[in-house]
Amino acid sequence: MMRSTFALQDDVVYRLKAAAALLNISENTLRNHLRDSGMEIQRANKKNPASPAVRLFSIADIFRLAQWRREQELVKRVSSSPTIIAVDLIKGGVGKSTTAGELGVQLSLLGYRVLMIDLDVQSNLTQLMGYESDLTMDEASQHDLNEDGIITGTFSTVCTQYMESKSGRGTRMENVATLIKRPFGIHGPALIPSDTFLGDLEQAFTYAKGNRELVFRNLFKDSAAGQVPGLNVSEFDFVIFDCPPSISFSSTNAIAAADLVIAPIRMDSFAVKGLSRLVSEINGLAERSPEVRPQLMILPTHYSTNITRVSRMQQQLQAYKTNLSPTVISSSELFPKTQENYLPLTLQQPTAAPVGEYRLFTEFVLSVAGKLARKPASVNKEAA
């Protein structure tokens, strides 16, 4: 049977305890939801009569339940407009793609509608969500993939068309809906993937008219007004950018469009210099464009109390203490396996310790996003 992603999702099933953990509710609450929603969940003895008649939830079942909770108004809306998040740091290997992916999945499991956008040509987020960026349509069947498993366009496709439509040459945008992937079905998070052609976006920026730093911001504004065929960001509660580990127009645009900038800091390497550069870039954008006022959030990753270097970095990060997340992400050998299995750790091992840490971080992000919706925020000037 053909698959839509590389992940062997049919092999992933959850019993009641794990399903409740994914949805962040009690087992009794989950039982009540199943009763009230009328959802039928496969029983283990359907395929094997010798097995106990326990429920086996699929990934699609979990996200369907999450959206049912939303329909029952059990999910508190954060804002009337989408919260834009840029996960960024001018340094590789700090956990940007992992953070973007785990955060996006966890927000979706809480019932929020999420769009993730991969802005890195390395395509780590794209792979984490189940796709290989270099496969062609002709090669799909060799890997038991249907056409949905092949990347046919990136955010470069969207932005290039958008900039050309604003050039004054009368160019019209084509419908970009087919570029948006749904790796876990219609109720799960959406993804605009990346491939090597994403690099064309940097060149396209050089021909853009107007403020090249605000292209994403203006695109989202027009998208919400129904002027970008196939993409309406107002349908989402959160849009999450996974930024490249380098200075680029793409990352600058993501920051300029963002309400919240999350900077993962690897605690076993010296990454404070990259953080200082990021803070300077945020403040510089705010000076050039007063409407740009994203809140900075620093997330310590690869954390271990056994590493002496961590305590030294903690001292250095005290200069940014008002921007520090109260939650850290521990160092774990589980994360590298997520890329191999084309599936975020949250969906692979719902009760793993790092998943619990990302769950706490997601709750913190929601609390900050709620405050941002009520009151404009800015980067801590003392941190710069």
Reported as a single tens digit per residue, the pLDDT across 192-241 is: 999 988 989 998 898 888 899 999 999 999 999 999 999 999 999 999 99
Our CA dihedral for 20, 8, 1, 52, rounded to 10 degrees, sits at: -40
CB 13 within 8 A of CB 57: yes
CB 81 within 8 A of CB 234: yes
Query: Phi, psi (5° rounding) for residue 117?
Result: -125, 120
What was the pLDDT predicted at 384? 39
Burial class (CB in 10 A: 0-12, 13-18, 19+), 228: buried
Buried b (16+ CB within 10 A) or exposed e, 184-210: bbebbbbbbbbbeebeebeebbeebee
Compute the radius of gyration of the chain from its Cα atoms: 21
Q: Which of 354, 339, 340 is nearest to 106 (CA)?
A: 354
Of 60-64, 308-312, 313-317, 326-330, the poorest mean pLDDT is in 308-312
Give the span between the Cα atoms of 256 and 267, in whole angstroms.
Answer: 27
Stretch 321-334: mean pLDDT, rounded?
92
CA 51, distance to chain mean position in Å, is 37
For residue 125, give the amino acid letter.
Answer: L
Q: Looking at the chain, how many residues does it have?
A: 384
Task: Name the fold adopted by 78-383.
Answer: Rossmann fold (3.40.50)
The sign one gets for the Cα dihedral 130, 117, 121, 271 is negative
Residue range 260-297, pLDDT digits in tens:
999 999 876 666 778 888 999 999 999 999 999 999 99
Give the span between the Cα atoms of 149 and 151, in whole angstroms.
Answer: 7
pLDDT band at 314 (very low <50, low <70, confident <90, very high): confident
What was the pLDDT predicted at 59? 98
DSSP structural state of residue 321: G
Stretch 34-56: mean pLDDT, rounded?
90
Stretch 144-158: mean pLDDT, rounded?
94
What was the pLDDT predicted at 318? 81
Query: Phi, psi (5° rounding) for residue 34?
Result: -65, -40
Of 29-33, 140-144, 269-273, 341-345, the poorest mean pLDDT is in 269-273
